[in-house]
Amino acid sequence: MKELSLHILDIAQNSVNAKAKTISITIDEQPDKNLLTIGFEDDGCGMDASTLARLNNPFFTTGNKKTGLGIPLLQQHAEAAGGELRVASQPGKGTQVLASFEYHHIDRQPMGDIVGTWIGLIRSYPHINWIYIHTKGANRFVLDLSEVREQLDGLPVNHPEVIQFLKSMMEENLNEL
């Protein structure tokens, strides 16, 4: 994975597979503090201590794939950029993942297409309550699909007109950060 947006897609897919109903993705850019964090929180099925202990093994997976490269690769990329990866989970209570990076580190991957990733998740999994929080310095953008749904009067969030509106809104707000 050459971009952080692809890691976001992978971890979000893990949350979907864990039957999460709400998935929160937080990006916090603090260039003045040389810190970038990407956090995930879901209310999925969670993991027990035994499963958590094996997450860093690329040949372990709880899914249908033969390998579980997502978490080990994210950890490797975080550590290569002077950061770390932390995962906490409890069965029946969900999972939290926090990846940190030195913001200005030469080996930190670029963010990639965050808007495209986010819109792809909404299109693919419209039944999930997606929450996106992006902070850069003192500026903050929040998009909570439960609030969007309240305004749609029954129109699905993956309707083409809604998707175009969300895409434009995200692009505009992220450019202002």
For 102-124, the pLDDT digits (tens) are: 999 999 999 999 999 999 999 99
d(CA 23, CA 104): 28
pLDDT, tens digit (0-9, with 9 covering 90-100), for 121-154? 999 999 999 999 999 999 999 999 999 999 998 8
The pLDDT value recorded for residue 62 is 64
Q: Are 52 and 63 in contact (CB under 8 A)?
A: no
pTM: 0.92
CA distances from 143 to 8, 31, 85, 95 (A): 16, 22, 25, 20
The pLDDT value recorded for residue 54 is 81
pLDDT above 90 covers a percentage of the chain that reads 85
d(CA 91, CA 141): 31
d(CA 36, CA 28): 6
CA dihedral 99, 50, 13, 68 (to 10 degrees): 90
